[in-house]
Amino acid sequence: MSYLNELTLKMASFNKDEVMMADIDLFLARDKMVTTQNHIMEDRIRSEYGELIN
């Protein structure tokens, strides 16, 4: 069974340590818009993160 999809670059093994490398397009990586109305970073509800951001 494959867990890879269009959003997964690579997936590590479940049972061993390993290092992976992947080439990425930095221009595309900077685009945080999921849709024309949803931004990954700006749409976060900061109060839900609690101690993680304090």
pLDDT at 54 over 70: no
d(C-alpha 5, C-alpha 11), whole Å? 10
Give the pLDDT confidence score for residue 17 in this predicted structure: 92
pTM for this one? 0.36
Would you list the DSSP string of the chain?
-----TT-S----SSS---------HHHHH--EEETTEETTTT--GGGGGGG--
pLDDT of residue 3 exceeding 80:
no
Give per-residue pLDDT as tens, 5-53: 566 777 788 899 988 887 878 887 777 877 788 877 777 777 877 777 6
Residue scoring higher pLDDT (9 or 3): 9
d(CA 21, CA 12): 11
